[in-house]
Each structure stands twice: as structure tokens, then as C-alpha cells.
Chain A
Amino acid sequence: MTDSSALPVSARAVVVGAGIVGSSLAYHLARLGWRDLVLVDKGPLPNPGGSTGHASNFIFPVDHSKEMTQLTADSVRQYKEWDVFTESGGIEVARNEERMQELQRRMSSAKAWGIEGCEIISPARVKELVPYIEESVIVGGFYTKGVGIVDSLRFGTIAREKAQELGALQVFANTEVLGIEVEGGRVTGIRTTKGDIATDTIVVCCGVWAPKIARMAGASIPLTPAVHQMIDVGPVPHFKDTQGVIEFPIVRDMDTNMYERQDGSGLEIGSYAHRAILHDPEDIPSNEEAALSPTELPFTQEDFEKQMEDALELIPDVLNDESVGIKYAINGLLSLTPDGLPLLGETPEVKGLWSAAAVWVKEGPGVGKAMAEWMTHGESEIDLQSSDIARFYECQKSRTHIRARAAEGFNKTYGIVHPSEQWESNRGVRLSPFYEREQALGAVFYEAAAWERPHWYQSNEKLLEEFGERINRREAEWESRWWSPIINAEHLAMRERAAMFDLTAFCIFDVLGPGALECVQTVSTRQMDVGHGKVVYTPVLSPSGTFKSDLTVMRLGDEHFRVVTGGAHGMADLKWYADHAPEGTTVVDLTSAYTTLGLWGPRSRDILASLTRDDVSHAGFPFGTCRPIELDSLRVLASRISYVGELGWELYVPIEQGAKLWDLVWEAGQAHGVVPAGIGVYGTTGRLEKCYRAFGFELDADFTVVEAGMAPPKVKGADFVGKEAHLRHRESDPVAILCTLTVDDHTSKSGQKRYMLGREPILARDGSRLVDAHGRGSYVTSAGAGPSIGKHILMAYLPPENANVGEELLVEYLGEQYPVTVQCNDATAVFDPENTRVRA
């Protein structure tokens, strides 16, 4: 029931949208003690007409993403708790061998994330479970026992009722948002068709309409409504005697991007195979105008014809029956984002305006809970960092970008997506000043934070000959995809001579003003009150002492710090600093003002020295310091640090002088054998040999600084976010330890050498999963070649009893197990453990 009373004049928070997300969030906020909550929806209840109302409502628990798997698992738990989950089992079927390999990869993900009840099954077994399937068109399947369907609308109703029972929530259906009041960058109120409410917190949970609502406040929620076609056929004779809505396992026909699920006496067939059909939020019909609901649009038959043929091939027993009719067919709207991930958290543009959008039914309750925690405690139990809405750069919020990527991603919904797979659409948006030179050198560009960034250079192919046997060639297509042996050659050239790296994608921002020191001290775990010209690498923690980020800070003045962080997560870091900036302190984004050229390798000092009169000797320019130097006609901010374990510098100049900087270093470097090197070296081979951790891989909100082996010898006196938790973590022994392992034998059963790519489960020698005392399974956080040590390197958190140097374990890769050995159980490097090269 909706409240018959009038809208209150003020509220602690207003939730917009009564679908699965808004209803769940309202409940969890109430549970965490929030009162005076208001939930509004422009549609009626219990089905306000958004994507929840026409969702197919099934859940497959295994995803390659840890974050999505965790959110889904938590959602399933909540659905079960309120008795709206029906387990049916589910099978992802393969029509070809490439897909079978992908299903093996799924199996690995299931083991890595600890999802039980999964197995690879034969076509005959698929037929046993789903008797109406044509087993001759498939080569196997991935069965998950825990697949089921949920009643998402019922869940929403229960959630609202429970929040109302707590006296925390008033619900207003048929109440449309007309505007959002913002003063001084903060939310102050919301205007609706039923009146205005003063509030400093608004959560936008209205899916396909979210961009429209955010725009009212001057913020951006970068998603696009997109069509997902569904038809319902029936009555199916096979289902005549079944009880309830579902008895047969749900089938995902992965290679045709379709699914088939029983729905009572009918069979629902859904597709992600048709052309991307994108809408604009402003063009969605109103509840009154829509024939069915605003997100159930007229079916476009021509887009579904190929899919009918595909479905007919897989389930002819059902579909060839002329008495089985198409009873319902819609173009259902759902939300797609530029990178396929949800949009969660406070918008970077407006304080107090939160987004919980682009969330599917399978993760809805989990997101509701995690968002409520985030809003209450400043963080959530499940790490939401890859879904953080603050992650986007301005150019990634453009309509063109959103639509291009949504369209490209749509047909990959069930796709076989390589971990390194690159986007094809809307490329070339952010170009570094080195771009033309890199192109001339045959750079193979990967995208990072919308920048084009060389991953390796074809012009370095000649190095393959130079390094000969020391370079591993990969035999299997899967690992060779999005990879080149040239990366390893560039690596060796750097270790022997010197290499230039384009690091323009770094996110750079300055913290300025009287509170600058307080701000950086509060956010950083390491001592920031250092002399001018010091460069400090520091972890950034959440309140509970897990990783929020890791980055470097240069002190440039009393009230002037420069933060340099990875491009991918840079915008979220910037928001985190800005959120902790005291009055009068400003955080200024300089990402597009400076370019960074990395120069590393034993010859880098010689190269630099040939260009400058400044002292670049070890004594004159020690490690961990930065200062301006003159290189020919340029004044350059040079910073002596390294992520590849070599002597060298990061060189910063205003972006328009970047090309000149490149030319100077390039020309001076020729005498010293300098090579251009790509991010394949910088991000993988170089850092892995040094056991340097990477944010989003080793470092995330699931692990502590102590577990990562990064606890400093002593904790600084100044307070910082997560300090209390960090001190507590130091007091007891860690229950997981980040270790570096190498692969002992790469030979598969078929005799081919295979190379792990990351996210594979680490197993005991008897094949059992390794699980730590907190229930976290061991998995490969990063994997890559170590050309200088001639081994394939893996990193993984292991339970202490397994975290012994020399411990022999297994890694499971594409259904086979390979022996591995622990090389280090702390931050010691497998290459140059004494760090002599860095400090040369």
C-alpha cells in the first residue's frame, strides 16, 4: 500500500525509484538506523513499470568478475531469506570447442570465487536434465545447481513493508520527480508532482530514467536504455505436469546469445543477439501512454528472426510443435553502461546525490545492501570500486561514448571476452603528445581511461632476434590473443639498456591551500609531512583498513602536493581527496595539463645526463625525490621512482611540450640503445618481477595492508582514514599472505605449453581449494611473464599454512592443473631482491 498521507516537508533521504534497487536500498538504510526516509516512484505499485517489472528474473551465480559474483551471491542469500527464490539449476551450453574452453574458464571462476555445485557436463547429461533440447547441436555444458528464479517485485514489496514496519519509510507511488534543488554543489531538496521535500540526500535508483533525474541536478549517470527482446511461447506439452513456475533448468545458449527458461506452462526465450537498439531516457513513454509498461515496448519482429531459427535448432521439440504459440513478445528496456558495470556511489558532481543505477535483478538486493553500508559507513562489505560512478572522465560521459560502448558491449553479454580484449568503438579520443611518434614506431594501442596508450611496438620486432631463446613464444591461441612476444623483448631491452614509456594516462591532481597537508595526511597511510621534493608511495585505505587505492604523492611546497595515480581509477581517487579536503583547500585536476614520459633502465642516467647540466647522479638526485631540471630547452619536473625496478625517472612537462621532450630523449637515447616500450612491460612483466602490487588486482577492499605485505615498519603519528583498523590488523597474524609463485611446468595434457592470464584458482597439491580463515579462496591476482627470470609469475593470497617459500601447489587453468611453487611470501622481489638497480 502507498501512503495516503501528504508528502513530508523534509526527509533524511529521498530514494527515487521503487524497483528492486530502490526498494532494497530503502530497507537496508532503515535497517542501518536511517529514519524519515521517503521513497517515490512515478509509476504505480507494486510494479512501477521499470526494468524490474519485466525482468526475466533468473540468476546465474558465476561471473568472471569477483565483485559481480559477490553481489550476486549476497542477493541470492537475501532472496532466499524472504522466500522468493526458486532453485531450478541452469546450464550454459556450448555449440563449439572455443565455447567449451570458455566454460572451463567459468569453472575456474566458480572455483576462484567459491561457488559450489558447478560441473562441466556432456551433451547426453544436458539432454537428461533438459529433455526437450536437441543435444546434437551442442558439445557440452556448464551446469550450475544454484541457478534459480526470483520474484523481484515481491521482494521489493517485502522490503518496503519491512522498512515501513520499522517506522522509517514513507512510500509515494505515482509521484514524479520534477526537479532537484542544488546549492553550493550540494543537494538541498527535491520537487515532485505531489510537492517538495527538503533533503540533503537523494538516491537515484530509477534505472533507465536515472540519467534524466541526474541531469536535473547537473550530474551525469552515464547509461543508456537498451532493448532486450523476449518472447513467451506456450503451452508447452513438456510442462503439462510440472508444478509451480519452474522445474527444468534454465538454458543459456551462449553462442547464439540467447536463453530459454520455463515459465509455468510457457517457455520464455530472451536474446542479446539482435542489433543494439538504444533509446534515450527522455523518449521513454509515460506510464499512461505505454500500451504495456513504459519499459515494455512494441516487439520488432525483424530483429528476432535469426534468433527464432537458432532457438528452433536447439529446442525443436518445443518450438516445432505448431500448437505452441508465441503469446507475448516485447522489446524490454534495460540499462547499459559504457563499460558494462553498474553505476554506484555518490556522483562526483553533486554532494548528496547518489546513484544506484544499471543494476540487474541478479545483483539488486546485494547492491541495495552495499549501497546502504556505503552511505552509512563510508564503505561497503563487498568492494564496489569497479562500479564506482566516480570512475568516469568527462569524455566518457558523452552520449556518443555511452551509446558506442553500450552497443558494442550488448552483443558480448554472453560473449567470450578475453581479459585483455579492447574496445573497437569510439577510440582515439584522448591522444598523448607522443601519439604520432608512437604511431610511426608501430605502436599497438590499448585503451586506458580513454587514452590511446602503446602496449608494445611492432618496430621492436627486431629485438626478438636479439634476445632469441630468452623470449617465450606462446603456442595456444587464447594466450597469444592480445599479446605479443615483443613485450618480453622490450622488457629485456629495458633491463639491459633503457626504455621510454608513455605514461600520459596517469591521473594527476594537486592539493593546494592551508589544509593541503591535513588533507593528504588524512587520506594517505604514509608520512606526508616530508621535505619539499620528496616523493612518497602510499596505500590509501578505507575506514576498515582495506585498500581504497595506492598512489604516489610529491611534496612541491608547504601547501602544495601533487598526487599521481593510475588513469583507470584516477577520478575516484580525486573525489576521495576532494571529499577529505578541509575548507579552503582545493583539489585541482591536472591530468590534461601534464604529460609523463617514463625513462628506465641502467642507461637512463647516461641519457638524461647528456641532456642536462643538472646533477642526476645518485647522490645528487636520490631515489624518492623530485625536482625541476632543465633538459635542453625544457624545464621538466623529474621524479626518481620506478614501477619496473630500474634506475630512472618520470619526466613531467606541460602537455604541449611533450613532443619536444620525446624527441630530446629519443635522440639522446639512440647512443645508449634506448627502445620505446609499452604498458605490457610497465604494467605486467616489469612490475611482476619486482612483485609490485597493482590496485584492482592484488589491492582491493577484500584485503588489508598487512595481508598485502605492505605494512610499514611503524605507523605514523598523524591520524588517517583506516588507521584504527590498520593498527588492529597489525596486532594479529594475517589470515592470508600475498605471495609470489612461479609455474613449474606449463605442459598441458595435449602437450601444449599454456600460460595463465590471471583470476585462476590456486589449489593444494591434492586439488582441493585453499580457503583462508575468513572464507576467501586463493586465486591468481595477477599473472604474467618474467622474462629476466625465465619464469611465468603468479601472485596470490594464500592461507599462512601454505604461504611458505618452496611450497608446492597447483593452479587450475582451463580445466587442467599445473604445478606451481611459492617463491616469496612477502614483498621481496623475484628479480633483483636487493633493489640494487633501482638505487643505482
Chain B
Amino acid sequence: MTLVFMESADDELSRQALTLAQSLGGDVRAVTIDGPYAPSVWAAAIVEAAGGDDIVGPGSDRGNELLAHAAAQLDLPFAANVSEIQGDELTRLRWGGTLLEEARLHSDRRLLSSAPFAFAPATWGQEVAVLTPSFGDGVQVVDHVAPDMGGKVSLADAKVVVSGGRGVGSAEGFAILEELAALLDAAVGCSRVVTSAGWRPHSDQVGQTGTKVSPDLYIACGISGATQHIAGCKGAKALLAINADKEATIFAHADYAVIGDLHEIVPAITAELRKVKGS
């Protein structure tokens, strides 16, 4: 028997966790939690609801956090970002998914989170049980601050991301990416090289240690395709790479490719879009 924690019934990553849970065999129960977020309290509620069952959660920040709390409370092992499992042998992501680890879980109970996009999302036909734990002295969220996006769509939510790498050449070079992004209602992203160089703030960074994005279209401009970056954009449904080096690693991850100088190509796409939209 397995208990699945879902952030919400229609949350994409949670529905992927559901698929993992269903693959374990046996009955599956799904729960969500209502009330202000308090990790230790939420985890305790999950532990209590699970009884002696396996526990599965999504491979999101929150999913991993709650599973880790639950594991600490139970003093059981927890395997984060599992992409495959058979009995007690599983495969999990390392290096943001650039490398896989085959591991054995030495435990009667399995505590797992599902690697993002490793499983197809399941549809949960039944009611998701809502847990309403009572809050004691556990650490809890006391406030929420939302950055002023100036009407722009956030990187994590954007349907289109226009992202730039070393090839953009400078902070000023991002102007043409901004222009294209504005037309597409897209967010502008960048690689770690760019934030290290100080051309863009870290909040724009897509990658293993930046934001992990899953837009409908990811446009990688002048990005070579380092593992750190791919780990952040492999959730994209389609990837268009624009690069002068036709042997760049990024093309191995791309669905569409344009070869050439991004400084010429990006403005040409912008102009073409304007023309099409204008007509």
C-alpha cells in the first residue's frame, strides 16, 4: 500500500508521483494538505496518514522537503528523484539528471520522490483526501513575498522562455532577447556563465542550481549545452537551439535548430513575428 502526497490534485509533478506510486503495486491513497505550510507538521500528518505504508511525493522542492522530514521523523531511508523502481532496486537522478544511480533500498518501507518528467502524469479518478493537521510549535510560513514582475511572466510559469548563454556576449546583448520575449509573452532566462559574468541576475538562471523550467518552447540562444544547464531545461516540451557552432552539445538536446549568429537570427525572428502578427 502506498500513500501519495500531492501538492494539489492537478499538479503536474504530483500526478507524475501518482504514476510512480501506482507502479509499486498495491493500493494507492492520495492526500493533500490544507493550511499554512509548516514542513515538520505537514510531514507528521503524512506519516500519520501513511500508517505503515510506503510514501511517495513529487520531485519538487516541497515534495522532497516533506519526504525528507518524514524520513527523519521515521528514521528511514529516503530516495529522492526516483526514475524507475523494481522492488527494492531503484534508479534515481544524480547531477540534476545528467547521471543515474542504481541503488538498493534496505528498508521495509519505501520513501520516494518521483523524478520530474520521468513518469507520465496519471489522472486520479477519486477524491484526494485533504489532511488538516493542527499546528503546534513547528516552523511555519508566516509571510509570503512576491517579487514585482512588472507585469512580466515568471521564468517558472512562462509558456515560452528565451534564454541566452555565453554567445550573447554581454549584458547589453540581451536586449534582442528581451524584445523577442516581449512579443511572445515569454520570460528571459540565461545560463550559469551569464550570471557568473554578472550580465543577468541569478533569478534568471536556468539550470541545476537555478530555476528548472518546463515551458512549451525553450529557445536557447548561444548556449553550448553544459550539463548544469540541460538539467534545468530538459522539462521543456520543445527546444529550439540557435548556435553558430553546429557541433554544440545543445543540438543533441534540441528539437529544432538554427545555425548561425544569434545576433542576426534573433532580430530576424522578431521582425518576422511582427510581420505575421501585424497581418
Give the residue name and chain of the B residue nearest to A44 (CB): B245
Q: Cβ of B246: which chain A residues have Cβ within 8 Å of it?
A: 2, 4
Q: Cβ of A173: which chain B residues have Cβ within 8 Å of it?
A: 245, 247
Give chain A interface residues in 168-183, CB to chain B under 8 Å.
Answer: 173-174
Q: Cβ of B247: which chain A residues have Cβ within 8 Å of it?
A: 44, 173-174
Give the residue name and chain of the A residue nearest to B247 (CB): A174
Question: In the complex the two chains form, what is the Cα distance from A174 to B244 in whole Å?
Answer: 13
B 235-269 binary contact with A (CB < 8 Å = 1; else 0): 00000000011111100000000000000000000
Question: In the complex the two chains form, what is the Cα distance from A44 to B245 in whole Å?
Answer: 7
Give chain A interface residues in 1-59, CB to chain B under 8 Å.
Answer: 1-2, 4, 44-45
Question: In the complex the two chains form, what is the Cα distance from A45 to B246 in whole Å?
Answer: 10
B 94-136 binary contact with A (CB < 8 Å = 1; else 0): 0000000000000000000000000000000000000000000
Give the residue name and chain of the B residue nearest to A327 (CB): B196
**Shortest CB distance A174–B (Å):** 4
Question: In the complex the two chains form, what is the Cα distance from A173 to B247 in whole Å?
Answer: 9
Question: In the complex the two chains form, what is the Cα distance from A1 to B245 in whole Å?
Answer: 8
| Interface of B: prevailing SS | loop
**Shortest CB distance B262–A (Å):** 14
**Shortest CB distance A291–B (Å):** 9
Give the residue name and chain of the B residue nearest to A174 (CB): B247
**Shortest CB distance B250–A (Å):** 12
Give the residue name and chain of the B residue nearest to A175 (CB): B247
**Shortest CB distance B197–A (Å):** 10
Question: In the complex the two chains form, what is the Cα distance from A64 to B249 in whole Å?
Answer: 46
Q: Cβ of B248: which chain A residues have Cβ within 8 Å of it?
A: 44
**Shortest CB distance A810–B (Å):** 56
**Shortest CB distance B224–A (Å):** 9
Question: In the complex the two chains form, what is the Cα distance from A45 to B248 in whole Å?
Answer: 11
**Shortest CB distance A49–B (Å):** 12
Give chain B interface residues in 113-170, CB to chain A under 8 Å.
Answer: none
Q: Cβ of A2: which chain B residues have Cβ within 8 Å of it?
A: 246
Give chain B interface residues in 203-259, CB to chain A under 8 Å.
Answer: 244-249
**Shortest CB distance A378–B (Å):** 38
Q: Cβ of A4: which chain B residues have Cβ within 8 Å of it?
A: 246
Question: In the complex the two chains form, what is the Cα distance from A2 to B247 in whole Å?
Answer: 10
Question: In the complex the two chains form, what is the Cα distance from A838 to B161 in whole Å?
Answer: 90
Q: Cβ of A174: which chain B residues have Cβ within 8 Å of it?
A: 247
Question: In the complex the two chains form, what is the Cα distance from A45 to B249 in whole Å?
Answer: 14
Q: Cβ of B244: which chain A residues have Cβ within 8 Å of it?
A: 1
Question: In the complex the two chains form, what is the Cα distance from A173 to B246 in whole Å?
Answer: 10
Most chain B C-beta atoms within 10 Å of own C-beta, residue among A44, A45, A288: A44
**Shortest CB distance A379–B (Å):** 39
Question: In the complex the two chains form, what is the Cα distance from A824 to B247 in whole Å?
Answer: 67
Give the residue name and chain of the B residue nearest to A4 (CB): B246
Question: In the complex the two chains form, what is the Cα distance from A45 to B244 in whole Å?
Answer: 10
**Shortest CB distance A330–B (Å):** 16
Q: Cβ of A45: which chain B residues have Cβ within 8 Å of it?
A: 245
Question: In the complex the two chains form, what is the Cα distance from A4 to B244 in whole Å?
Answer: 12
**Shortest CB distance B165–A (Å):** 14
Question: In the complex the two chains form, what is the Cα distance from A2 to B245 in whole Å?
Answer: 9
**Shortest CB distance A161–B (Å):** 14
Most chain A C-beta atoms within 10 Å of own C-beta, residue among B244, B247, B248: B247
Give the residue name and chain of the A residue nearest to B249 (CB): A288
Question: In the complex the two chains form, what is the Cα distance from A173 to B244 in whole Å?
Answer: 12
A 161-201 binary contact with B (CB < 8 Å = 1; else 0): 00000000000011000000000000000000000000000
**Shortest CB distance A327–B (Å):** 9
Question: In the complex the two chains form, what is the Cα distance from A45 to B247 in whole Å?
Answer: 10
Give the residue name and chain of the B residue nearest to A291 (CB): B226
Question: In the complex the two chains form, what is the Cα distance from A174 to B252 in whole Å?
Answer: 15
B 51-65 binary contact with A (CB < 8 Å = 1; else 0): 000000000000000
**Shortest CB distance A326–B (Å):** 14
Question: In the complex the two chains form, what is the Cα distance from A173 to B249 in whole Å?
Answer: 14
B 11-43 binary contact with A (CB < 8 Å = 1; else 0): 000000000000000000000000000000000
Question: In the complex the two chains form, what is the Cα distance from A74 to B245 in whole Å?
Answer: 32
**Shortest CB distance B25–A (Å):** 40
A 48-79 binary contact with B (CB < 8 Å = 1; else 0): 00000000000000000000000000000000
**Shortest CB distance B180–A (Å):** 24
Give chain A interface residues in 455-512, CB to chain B under 8 Å.
Answer: none
Question: In the complex the two chains form, what is the Cα distance from A2 to B248 in whole Å?
Answer: 13
Q: Cβ of A1: which chain B residues have Cβ within 8 Å of it?
A: 244
Q: Cβ of A44: which chain B residues have Cβ within 8 Å of it?
A: 245, 247-248
Give the residue name and chain of the A residue nearest to B196 (CB): A327
Q: Cβ of B249: which chain A residues have Cβ within 8 Å of it?
A: 288
**Shortest CB distance A328–B (Å):** 11
**Shortest CB distance A138–B (Å):** 35
Give the residue name and chain of the B residue nearest to A2 (CB): B246
Q: Cβ of B245: which chain A residues have Cβ within 8 Å of it?
A: 44-45, 173
Give the residue name and chain of the B residue nearest to A287 (CB): B247
Give the residue name and chain of the B residue nearest to A173 (CB): B247
**Shortest CB distance B206–A (Å):** 20
Q: Cβ of A288: which chain B residues have Cβ within 8 Å of it?
A: 249
Give the residue name and chain of the A residue nearest to B245 (CB): A44
Question: In the complex the two chains form, what is the Cα distance from A1 to B246 in whole Å?
Answer: 10
Question: In the complex the two chains form, what is the Cα distance from A45 to B245 in whole Å?
Answer: 8
**Shortest CB distance A416–B (Å):** 41
**Shortest CB distance A555–B (Å):** 61
Give the residue name and chain of the B residue nearest to A1 (CB): B244
Question: In the complex the two chains form, what is the Cα distance from A454 to B248 in whole Å?
Answer: 59
Give chain A interface residues in 601-640, CB to chain B under 8 Å.
Answer: none
**Shortest CB distance B243–A (Å):** 10
Question: In the complex the two chains form, what is the Cα distance from A93 to B169 in whole Å?
Answer: 37
**Shortest CB distance B49–A (Å):** 46
**Shortest CB distance B195–A (Å):** 14
**Shortest CB distance B129–A (Å):** 48
**Shortest CB distance B257–A (Å):** 13
Question: In the complex the two chains form, what is the Cα distance from A9 to B257 in whole Å?
Answer: 29
Give the residue name and chain of the A residue nearest to B248 (CB): A44
**Shortest CB distance A516–B (Å):** 54
**Shortest CB distance A293–B (Å):** 12
Question: In the complex the two chains form, what is the Cα distance from A1 to B249 in whole Å?
Answer: 17
Question: In the complex the two chains form, what is the Cα distance from A777 to B245 in whole Å?
Answer: 49
Give the residue name and chain of the A residue nearest to B224 (CB): A44
Give chain A interface residues in 711-749, CB to chain B under 8 Å.
Answer: none
Question: In the complex the two chains form, what is the Cα distance from A288 to B249 in whole Å?
Answer: 9
**Shortest CB distance A151–B (Å):** 15
Give chain A interface residues in 811-829, CB to chain B under 8 Å.
Answer: none
Question: In the complex the two chains form, what is the Cα distance from A1 to B244 in whole Å?
Answer: 8
Question: In the complex the two chains form, what is the Cα distance from A2 to B244 in whole Å?
Answer: 10
Question: In the complex the two chains form, what is the Cα distance from A173 to B259 in whole Å?
Answer: 15
A 257-289 binary contact with B (CB < 8 Å = 1; else 0): 000000000000000000000000000000010
**Shortest CB distance B247–A (Å):** 4
Question: In the complex the two chains form, what is the Cα distance from A174 to B248 in whole Å?
Answer: 10
**Shortest CB distance B80–A (Å):** 26
**Shortest CB distance A604–B (Å):** 71
A 61-104 binary contact with B (CB < 8 Å = 1; else 0): 00000000000000000000000000000000000000000000
Question: In the complex the two chains form, what is the Cα distance from A155 to B249 in whole Å?
Answer: 26
**Shortest CB distance A295–B (Å):** 18
**Shortest CB distance B105–A (Å):** 32
**Shortest CB distance B199–A (Å):** 15
**Shortest CB distance B258–A (Å):** 14
Question: In the complex the two chains form, what is the Cα distance from A174 to B245 in whole Å?
Answer: 10
**Shortest CB distance B263–A (Å):** 15
Question: In the complex the two chains form, what is the Cα distance from A44 to B247 in whole Å?
Answer: 7
Question: In the complex the two chains form, what is the Cα distance from A492 to B249 in whole Å?
Answer: 74
Give chain A interface residues in 434-456, CB to chain B under 8 Å.
Answer: none
Query: 8 other contacts beyond A1-B244, A4-B246, A44-B248, with CB at 8 A cut-off?
Result: A2-B246, A44-B245, A44-B247, A45-B245, A173-B245, A173-B247, A174-B247, A288-B249
Q: List 11 A-B contacts (CB under 8 A).
A: A1-B244, A2-B246, A4-B246, A44-B245, A44-B247, A44-B248, A45-B245, A173-B245, A173-B247, A174-B247, A288-B249
Closest 3 CB pairs of A and B: A174-B247, A44-B245, A44-B247
Q: Which residues of B contact A (CB under 8 A)?
A: 244-249
